[in-house]
Structure 1
Amino acid sequence: SDYCYDIAQSEHNELIISGDKGLSFLNVENRTLKTIGLDALILSGINYGCGLLVCNNGEIFVGGIDGLTSFFKQEVFDINKNYTIYFSSLSVNDEKIKPDDKTNILKQSLPFTDKIVLNHKQNNLNISFTSNNYIRSHTDGIYEYKLEGFDNKWITGDQIIYTNIHPGNYKLWIREKKLSSDDIISKTTSMDIIIQHAWYANPYAYIIYFIIVYVILFSFMRFRKVRHDLKTSLEMERKEKEQIEQMNHSKLQFFSNISHEFHTPLTLIIVQIERLLNNNNISPFLYNRLLKINKNAIHLRSLVSELLDFRKLEQGHIKLKVKEQNIIPFLKEIYLSFLELSSERNILYKFETYEKEGIICWYDPKQMQKIFYNLISNAFKYTKPGDSI
């Protein structure tokens, strides 16, 4: 210091000099000078008139502009004094952190905190540290720090600053670098720093992402397989349908050819029967028999013609020829065609109507005849002798 406000003599015959930067202890015999700074005295400043007093027991009182402090010299300068290094202040993203503030980072004072937990956005740190070795804090002591998991080597400095720290678990170490062999112990301290991952980047999120990707890939592969199976199935159905259509076409072609072969002989038979019916020399019994043969032959020819029309029906060329006429005589004629068959099978066969004047309907006689022929044929097929139709 360039100022001298007060001078006192200690019990060891040393001169204690107060100045604007703290206290100095001058040993004239040994020509040594030791100092204690203002921060070690817990004073913000010393000025003229603040006062300096040394008691008989060796306790030293020093007045400052903001108060009074006292200490024993041997305790301050004891080389074997047990002191510690501790973290004094913390700033996150240029915001000073205090216990139980809105950030909820510190639950108690930083010197008593051994772990801090930060979110992924709180990754810019400014940390200060100090020690309670006041005399050594004003010597040429040097400190080193290292953030395990981030730094590869020790860094020398009195202020710790880190920016853009990636999420993870870290440990901040501070140690006192020894300058001379008379220093006994190298003091260290540490604090765990945990920077959490964002919710979308933590391990559980990656597990969910993996599951989602797996489900998407599995669904895609399954969809492709189902689509391929469906395509294969449709292709097989198409080929099977083509084969069935080809078989049906072959059958229709076969029946058409057979129908042509049947149609001509039946026509010739009908012509001969009609000639016999036109002969006036035949008996009534034979005439009735020939008439029934002629009707059945004509019906058989119509059935053969139906085989030819079925091909046209498949191609959509058949149209109904509907006309208005009385349906009672039409049904009566169909009834008479099966009358002789009922006598042979001993089946009571009757035709009943409650409309004496007839019933006028719109219908296609050819198609209607086919329907009733099938109905009555099935009735005779499943009716036992003695029953009635």
Structure 2
Amino acid sequence: MGWNSMRPLLICFWTVACAGPAMALGPDTWLFPMALKPGDTIALVAPSAPATGPEFLVYVKLMESKGYRVVSKPGLVGRKENYLGGSDAERAAEINDYLRDPTVRMIMPVRGGFGMSRILDRIDYSALRKDPKVIAGYSDITALHLAVARHAQVVTFHSPMAMRDLWREAEPAYAFPAKSFQRAVFAGQYVPGERGYVVEIPKGHKPVKLVGGKVTGRLLGGNLSLVVTLMGTPHAIQPRGSILFLEDVSEPAYRIDRYLSQLRLAGVLDQVAGVVLGSFTTRDEAEETDTTRVLHDYFSKLKVPVLMRYPVGHTPQNATLPHGALVELDADTGTLRILQNPVRVH
């Protein structure tokens, strides 16, 4: 066998070998972190863009005033390597240290940006599997949510972040994302004996039915560009039977078209049980019209329920969604019902 014929096999072997230790995980082996309660420790990390500005300290003081202990690595604020929040080694070690620390109950990225996908092959997923804890965030953190779903099967939370909206919870315009986040992960929000809940929608907001119907599946997805970026890697989404949710920001319509074309050609759209389309933030009304047209092109012909304009993504009305949890999508009523508590309360 010559080099040209061996090369694809070697690339395949290298991809599998570099994916980290494999764990035998099945469809019914998902785990849930413990809900947060006063006295718990929250670890702030910067796996993507740098932590800068007063927002960081505002969030720390806010959570400490509620009875939580907040920790971070020395020098986290201002730590920077070009557009990243530190070197790959620093950012990966930061996450792994907290994954292995039994006192830490939530890992909260301060913000998104870029860089999470650079370190996915360095994360200790087995530590999270052994000790599930709340992992929050959205945007670039989509990469971590998808990788955790593949390698640890622990429910995580597509949610606002410390320096993205949560620090502003006292402002009326940002009360909703804080309330939605608390509903999902705080122990005091759960009534003994009750199971699951309907994700609350902001007042005056009405999701739009594109394709009607009701379906149950596991909620997976996040930022569209990150979902596409991980295609072909060991960390890619496993879409079969899932409720796929997507959002994006500052992407022109032709790029959204390109991303969705890749998902279609890869067979992802043929495998999902339902779709939730969140915020696709654009620069102006003309671009919004073009993006809406593209979304209609790809999703209006699907034979599964599809809901548009759901309040999730790069918007002040960013609902927290438990990534990996079983949910019921009802496109006719515009609701998402979480069918199981995404955290353990006791």
TM-score clears 0.5: no
Between 1 and 2, higher relative CO (CA 8 Å, sep ≥ 6) is seen in: 2
Q: TM-score, normalised by structure 2?
A: 0.20
Higher gyration radius (CA): 1
Q: Which has the higher strand share?
A: 1
